[in-house]
Structure formats: C-alpha cells, structure tokens
Amino acid sequence: MTSQGWLATAKKGDLVYVCTGNRNLPGVITKAFKLTLYVEKLKFRRKDGTLMRPSHARMTVRGAASYRIVQRECCEGETV
C-alpha cells in the first residue's frame, strides 16, 4: 500500500516508526484525527506523515521537516 493510502487509514494503536533522518524510532499512534496523527506527544500531518512543529517549539523548521512517520512493515530489515 502506498504511504498516502496507509496514512489515510491509520488508526489509534497502529505500530509505526518515526524517522529522524538517521534513525528509525519505534512508536505507536496514540491519537488519530481527520487531519493529524499523534505518536506520543509528536503531531504529524495525515496527508504526508511529516511533523507539525508547534509555534513555541525550539526545533527549527528544517529540523522538523526531517521527522516523518512510516509503516513498521516497510522498515523491518533496517537497523533501529
């Protein structure tokens, strides 16, 4: 399934990886809304899986752009 197809059907409790640029961190979707998905306290866009940075965050826009969520099945062979 394509990433857009999977993100459209993602629901609470799904296992995912949070890609941080050089590492894949395991996580679980804790909240799922029409436009956003939460993994712990991180908020991601449902349309493309990228991190939504809060306005008061210390992270730069460029740093936030490297965070995204992917399916657990597509990264099983990679080092975590």
Predicted pLDDT at 78: 55
pLDDT tens readout for residues 33-62: 999 999 988 999 999 899 998 778 888 878
Residue 43 lies in domain: 3-74
Has residue 80 been placed in a domain? Answer: no
Helical spans, DSSP H, in the chain: 3-9, 61-65
pLDDT tens readout for residues 3-40: 568 899 999 999 999 998 888 999 999 999 999 999 98
The number of domains in the chain is 1
Q: What is the Cα Rg of the chain in Å?
A: 12
Report the helix count and the strand count for the chain, using DSSP H and E: 2, 5
Has residue 40 been placed in a domain? Answer: yes
pTM of the complete model: 0.80
